[in-house]
Structure formats: C-alpha cells, structure tokens
Chains A and B, each alone.
Chain A
Amino acid sequence: MVVDQDLVRHLSESSVSVELQTEEMTLNIGPQHPSTHGVLRLVARVDGERAFDVQPVIGYMHRGYEKLSEVRTYPQITTLINRIDWVAGYANEIPFVVAAEKLLGLEVPERAQYIRLILTEMARISSHLIFMASYPLELGAATPLFFALRERERVLDLLEGVTGGRFHPNFNRIGGVKPAYGSGSSTRKVIQDLPAGFLAATREAMDRVLEAVEELELLVADNEIILARTKGIGVLPADVAAAYGVSGPNLRASGVAFDLRKVEDYLPYHLFDFEIPTGENGDCWDRWHVRLLEIRQSVRIVQQAIDGIPSGPLQAKVPKIIKVPQGETYVRAENPKGEMGYYLVSNGNQGPYRLKIRSASFSNISILPWILEGVLVPDIIAILGSLDFVLGDVDR
C-alpha cells in the first residue's frame, strides 16, 4: 500500500487552534465620514469591533486665522472669527470685542450689553439644538434631528432679523453693536436697533423652544435604546477633563459646576437668575442631558433679559478709525462649546500684533486618544458625538 508521506506529515502537524487568532485592522474614520462633523479623521486600530488605539488627525480645515488676524483691522477680524465655531457664530465675536474694549478702556452702553447677551444666549440655544439634532442621528434616530432643527430655524430667523446674518452675524463692533447702516452717510443714516416686534417674537420663540425640548425629551430621554447606548459610555472624570482643558458642558457633565458666565464679567450675567446644570457620571448620557438642561437655562436668561432690556445708545463713543492702545489681555467667555478666549496683543495700531485664539473644541477633542481607548466602534461614534465639537473650532 502506498502511503502519501506528505499527507501523513501534514495531518500530524496540523492542530486545531483553540485561541482564535485575530488580525488587527486599521480603520480610517474620516476625513470624509458621515459622523465626524466635517473633516476630522480618526485612525483607529481595531480588533474586530473593539478599538484599542484611536488617534485623531486634525488640520484639514486649518485656515490660519491667527496669522490672518495680523494683517487685518479690528472691524475686519470679527468677520473672520464668527467663522470659527459656525454653529454659534455670534458667540465667537464677544470675547474678541471685549478684549479690544478692555485695552481701549471702553464702557459699553447697557442696551448694547443686553442685546449682546440675548443674542449670545440665542446662539447657545441654536448650537445646543444642533447637538440635540445630530447626537440621536449618530445613534441612528433620525427624527429628533428635524424637531430640533425646526426650532433652531426659528431662533436663527430672529438672529438674522437683527444682525442680517444667520451663521455669520458680524454684528459686534468695538464699543457696542453694529450702530448704523451707512454710518458715514450724511444723507441716510439708519440706526441698526432691534427690528420692531423682535422682543415679542423672541418671547414666542422661546416658548416654542421649550415645547420642542419637551418633545425631544420624550423622543430621546424616554428611549431605552438611547439609554443603553449612552449610559456608562465614555466616562470622563473631572480631573482628567480639567487636565486636558475640556470645558463647557463636557466639563459640567462630569459634575463640575463651573460656568464662566458666573465668574467672568464679559457680559452682565450677574443680573440674571440661572442655574448651572451638572451631570453625575460624566458619561455620554450626562453630556446630552446637561445640554438639554442648559437650553432651558438659556431660555430663562433670554426671557429675563427681554423683560428688562433698557433703552439707550447702542455704542460707546469710539473714533472712526480704531487704534487699540498697546497692551495685552486674555478674555475668555462661556461659549456653547466651552471656554472660548482671545489673547490679544496690541501694538497700538489698527490691527492686533498677535491674536491667540483659544477655542473650546480644540481642547475638547484632545481628550479623544484617552477616552477612546478600548471602546467598541459604535461607541467611538457615540462618544465622538457627545463631545459636540465643530471642526472650524478645532482647526481655526
């Protein structure tokens, strides 16, 4: 009998492996991916569904605003900076003009302060509504998107009615808010105060926002699948968050009641009654819930501000060509995404010598390598979405 020696050897050497040999795979999430909110790229090394190393790659949207600011005048820069975090464009302008006003030593008229505050809070509401819209979408629920966007549309319409821009209001001027249309004009000078009916329309819109927030709560907070997908996922302890510079609602979700609106004086927030909502565990659910509660607080602030808005001038007396005196200052503000600040170095000219833009999302997503270690691929998306970043705010 002829025995195939090769076959025998092959059979004797082969063994059944009990340990499953798996191969690691590099998954390139982004820069074009439906849920990276723009051009964020994550290089994830995954073993099956579990990622053991995720490295973000940013810079696809770097526009060099810090350099561009050095060749522009102060009024021109507000045009640029409301494109940093474009879902809350208005809020970006505030710390910058406040920084310039600080160097100039200007007192901003009360009415202008109130208008700034109302519009900032409306920008916060619209930004948080975008989060309310996009976050369930990342978990697969499409309908909350439209409920949130519908209300955001209402808020943006009001913003547009005042400023003329939905996303890029460019409404703040050093010393106040945009004073007049054709300001140099000797023939036709139109003051840009709030348009008639704005206060009543805002009051109504705020009520509608509250209704929509209730609906969103029913749709999202009442859903067991959402809870299963977010509770205990992506837990961020407060001390780690602080060390990475994670700020805003993401920090408050970790249980820290810290809000720059309470401790800084860039806008007269001390006149109004509002609370700082905080989370308990710092997980994805808390980050969602804190933002939901913040919408309610912002609505409260807007309602109070509308009731108490004083009349008066819209702008302090400023020279026509603004030259900011020498000096340097750092002004930070509580933006919808977190701490937004400008370190302004002026050399006494029409434009800044150096402008450092501290944007919230940049620090907020620097936590990603830490927080995404060892999570499942669906959780990458859940955590990513819960951090609520905007790529313009990351790359500047």
Chain B
Amino acid sequence: MSAFLSDLFANFWVSLAGKLLLVALMIPLVGMVIGYAEMKLSAKMQARVGPYFAGGRWGWAQLIADGVKFFQKEDLIPEEADRPVFKIAPVLVLISTVALLVVIPFGPGIIFRDLSVGVFYALAISSLSTVGILMAGWSSGNKYSLMGGLRAAGQLIAYELPLVLAVIGSVMLAGTMSMSGIVEAQIEAGYPYLIIQFVGFGIFMVAALAELSRIPFDMPIAESELVMGYLTEYSGFRFLFFFLAEFANMFTLSAIAVTLFLGGYWLPGIPEDVLAYAGPVIVLAKTFLLVFAMIWFRWTFPRFREDQLQSLAWKWLIPLALANIIITGAFKVYL
C-alpha cells in the first residue's frame, strides 16, 4: 500500500496535482485564520468583543459567513472600467501569494519546490502583487482608485529596494539563495541570523508592511482619504480575492522573514529527527508571531503621508540597508 502510494507520488503529474491542491487549500485557510485573528485581536485591543455570532461560539465562522456573503454579491464592473484588466487584477494579486508559498521550507525537505534561487524568486514574485494593485487602480475608472494605484506604484518602487537589500545580508552569510539552504546554514551556524542581521530584519519587516500596504503604510487604501483606494470599485468575489490575498500575503511574507532571519523550522535544542515532524509547527508558530506583530502595529499606528513614506524609504531605509550589507560583508570576511 505504502509502496503504491510512494509510487503514485513519484509520478510527476500526481505529485504536482497534490501539491497544487495543497497550496490552493492553504491560501484560503491561512487567509481565514489570519483574518479571524485580526478581527478578534483588534477587538480585544479596543476592549470590544469582536465577532461572536456566526458559528455559535466566539464567532469562529465569521469569515466563512463573510466569504459566502461575498460570493452571493453581484459582480459589479464600472462602465468606465478597463474590463479585462479590472478582472485580471485580483487574480494576479492572489496568484502572487500562492506562488510565494511554493518556496517556503516548512521542515527538512518539506518544501513545495526548493529553487536554487529561492530568495530571488520570492522577491520577484512578491512585487507582482503590487503590479496587480496598480492594475486594479488604473482600470477601475475611478479617480480615487487611480490615486490609490499610483500611490501603490510609488510604494512599490520605494520599498522593493530596501526589501531586496535587507535580505542580502542573510544571503551573504548563508552563501546560498536557496531558501532551505539558508535555513540549513542557520542550523549549521547554531544561531538564527536575527542576531547579526537585526537591522536587516527590521528593514525587511518595515518594507514588508509597506509591500502589504498595511497601516502605517496603507496609503493606497487610506479609507479616510481615498475612500478605499484601488479597492473602491471592487465588490463580491473579486473583493474577496484582494481580502484573502492581503491576509495570505501577511503569512507568506512573514514566513519568508522567518526563513531568512528566524531560523525557519529550526529551534535550538530540538534534535533533528524531531524537527522533521515538528518543523511545520515551528514555522507556523514563528510566522504567526510575526503576523501578530503586524496586526498589533496596524491597530496602534496611524498612517504616514505618501511623501513621508518616500523620504523614510530613500533617506533612511536604503542607506541603512546598504550600510548593513557593508558591515555584513566585513563581518563575513573577518570571521
């Protein structure tokens, strides 16, 4: 039986289908868990109850109910919209999230695809979502959406650079661009790279928040200024795609940060044979810790102004990231 199973999964197409199914299931699942956590935690931070009705206890089914509601809604497309672009944009945003999940190692050997240029791939794909946002803003035929889209474009340019520069430190230390290779290098070194790459980690998290356009960098949405920015004209399941993508993207970007800086599936003191099973749990725990921080920031901070964001990126984060690379290089040479 097990021989049959392993034979079956040795088949390229079967294993591909299985992996696709898993990834496709993981995105809504993760999105819902984080969405629920955000609702509930933000409520507690504000001395509120949060969702409590759907599902009977603690409102656990709130997001399922929301999802059903979104699918029931009419799919509105504005008359002035650029229809094909308008339709593709949410899909593109969601796809970039799905594609990101592929290179995250959840344990020794538990990875959908171990690319040798995993980091490079992850960074390239993560900026795809911003392209989707730009498309959404541009095609909506709404001035608020347009401004939101343009802000997103400005943010993409400003924050893609620190994001890339921030991870270079870890890549230099590990000497590989493979995601699992970086984790293994951290295991070998015996410490997570956070210890020497704390600057890189900080920059990465700030840039990731900007990439996600979450408060304090949610200028593309900025509901008090631009109504809902690029989301203004979206409704129904297309809106749901953006909604899910935001939460799933929080997860994937946090998982990348965990891989690059927090030692991935590794925890000190746990023997390697246990890691094979406990790996996914450790990755999830670390990731949700970072996700919690993102939620925490969101419900505490106001938002920047677009020009302040730009000056933060260009005047502070990029020079800091460059300095970090130089110092890391020096560290690497003299070690």
* B residues in contact with A141, CB < 8 Å: 215, 300-303
* B residues in contact with A138, CB < 8 Å: 224
Stretch at the interface among B44-52, B235-243, B255-263, B315-323: B44-52
A228 at the A/B interface (Cβ < 8 Å)?
yes
Supposing A225-B304, A228-B308 touch, asked if A143 and B224 sit within 8 A by C-beta, the answer is no
A121 at the A/B interface (Cβ < 8 Å)?
no
State whether A376 touches B305 (Cβ < 8 A).
yes
- In the assembled complex, the CB of B12 is this many whole angstroms from the nearest CB of chain A, namely 48
State whether B299 touches A225 (Cβ < 8 A).
no
- In the assembled complex, the CB of A31 is this many whole angstroms from the nearest CB of chain B, namely 13
A49–B144 Cα gap in the complex (Å)?
A: 11
A312–B224 Cα gap in the complex (Å)?
A: 50
* A residues in contact with B218, CB < 8 Å: 140
- Considering only residues 195-220 of chain B, those with a C-beta below 8 Å from chain A are 215-216, 218-219
- In the assembled complex, the CB of B51 is this many whole angstroms from the nearest CB of chain A, namely 15
State whether B48 touches A143 (Cβ < 8 A).
no
Interface centre among B215, B216, B219, B305 (most CB of A within 10 A): B305
A381 at the A/B interface (Cβ < 8 Å)?
yes
Contacting B301 at CB < 8 Å: which of A27, A137, A225? A225
A185 at the A/B interface (Cβ < 8 Å)?
no
Supposing A140-B224, A150-B47, A381-B224 touch, asked if A49 and B299 sit within 8 A by C-beta, the answer is no
Question: For this complex, into which size category does the number of interface residues on chain A fall?
Answer: 20 to 34
Question: For this complex, into which size category does the number of interface residues on chain B fall?
Answer: 20 to 34
Contacting A140 at CB < 8 Å: which of B45, B48, B303? B303
* B residues in contact with A147, CB < 8 Å: 46-47
* A residues in contact with B227, CB < 8 Å: 33-34
State whether A381 touches B225 (Cβ < 8 A).
yes
- In the assembled complex, the CB of B207 is this many whole angstroms from the nearest CB of chain A, namely 17
State whether A376 touches B224 (Cβ < 8 A).
no
- In the assembled complex, the CB of B148 is this many whole angstroms from the nearest CB of chain A, namely 11
Contacting B302 at CB < 8 Å: which of A146, A229, A380? A229
State whether B46 touches A139 (Cβ < 8 A).
no
Could you jot down 26 A-B contacts, CB within 8 Å? A35-B224, A35-B225, A137-B224, A138-B224, A139-B302, A139-B303, A140-B216, A140-B303, A141-B215, A141-B300, A142-B42, A143-B45, A145-B46, A146-B46, A146-B48, A150-B47, A219-B300, A223-B301, A225-B302, A226-B302, A229-B302, A229-B308, A376-B306, A377-B147, A378-B306, A381-B225
